[in-house]
Amino acid sequence: MITSPNSSVRGMPSGIIVPIITPFDQDGSIDWPAYERVVAHVIAGGVDAIFVLGTTGEGPSLTTAGQRDLVKATQAHVAGRCAVYVGVTDTSLAESLRMTEHARDCGADAAVIAPAPYFPATPAGQIAYFSAFVEKSTLPVILYNIPQMTKVNIDLGAFNALVDDKKILGVKDSSGNMVYFQRLQHIARRRPDFSMLIGAEELLAESVLMGAHGGVTGGANLFPELYRDLFAAAKARDFDTLNRLQTRLMTLSCKLYAFSGGGYIIQGIKAALAARGFCQPWVQPPMLPADAALKATVAELVKEFS
């Protein structure tokens, strides 16, 4: 297995995994110099892996050519310094497999796949879908639960049927439901090498204290050191440090994420990165860039955290 200064053994995803943003110019094209800056920033901040083409990265809004270019560029910029996981979820299983093959050719470490969007699958359908993907995948696989986007949770019975497949490295759960996450974790206990990753960063400390292996945290685009240090404090059970850092994380969450409507997490992260000089605030349709109120909140937050 390859190792890096920022990562433990690549075979088991762990630590802080950043679902990296995709910077854009105003015309919607990828801002490649800005992307290189953000990659360098999160690696310098100590993240253990980069998750490209995720929700925070607006992966589903990119063209296929743009997705492929981004995977290739990510590998070039990372240059072995941390693990790279690639989101391959698509309405077409065949397209997911093609993107996985491209990611493998570029040197990625794993493919990340959620239940297929648009047509909600039954539990039996989920087993058939994931089994077919895992069998044909040219990379190890991380399952991805994000019911906000796919209309369904990964069914617990389906998860139980899949978890023994050694080609599946772990699961990322972005439901924000800690009871559901702990049920997944309970099922996976029979596989000590199975990685449990939390997607709701507000639950990172709690989940790690209960045995989770890491988190996929959008805020690590902004302040990777905060998430790195919080993860380390949780692992060490250093509760004084953990309480202090959790308070900072919740300040970030309440000021940057606590808005109604879709897209605000992405808009807020990009607006904050723009305020710090890393990229422009543009997002892909149908989202709109941060409005004046969010920009003012972001400016205050960046000043406070700096």
Q: How far is CA 45 from CA 17, 94, 166, in A?
A: 12, 36, 31
Of 85, 118, 166, 172, the catalytic one is: 172
**Structural domain contains residue 68:** yes
**Structural domain contains residue 108:** yes
**Structural domain contains residue 107:** yes
Catalytic (active site) residue 144: yes
**Structural domain contains residue 278:** no
Query: How high is the pLDDT of residue 257?
Result: 84
**Structural domain contains residue 124:** yes
3-class SS at 304? helix
Of 35, 85, 144, 227, the catalytic one is: 144
**Structural domain contains residue 208:** yes
Is 112 part of any known ligand binding site?
no
Is 56 part of any known ligand binding site?
yes
**Structural domain contains residue 270:** no
Number of H helices, E strands in the chain: 12, 8
Q: How far apart are the first and last CA of the chain?
A: 37
Q: Domain count of the chain?
A: 1
- In order along its 306 residues, the chain shows pLDDT tens digits of 233 344 444 679 999 999 999 999 999 999 999 999 999 999 999 999 999 999 999 999 999 999 999 999 999 999 999 999 999 999 999 999 999 999 999 999 999 999 999 999 999 999 999 999 999 999 999 999 999 999 999 999 999 999 999 999 999 999 999 999 999 999 999 999 999 999 999 999 999 999 999 999 999 999 999 999 999 999 999 999 999 999 999 999 998 887 645 567 899 999 999 999 999 999 999 999 999 989 999 999 999 998
DSSP-assigned beta bridge partners for residue 170:
142, 195
Range of the structural domain that residue 112 is part of: 15-238
The pTM score is 0.95
CATH of the domain at 87: 3.20.20.70
**Structural domain contains residue 263:** no
Catalytic (active site) residue 166: no
Query: How high is the pLDDT of residue 261?
Result: 54
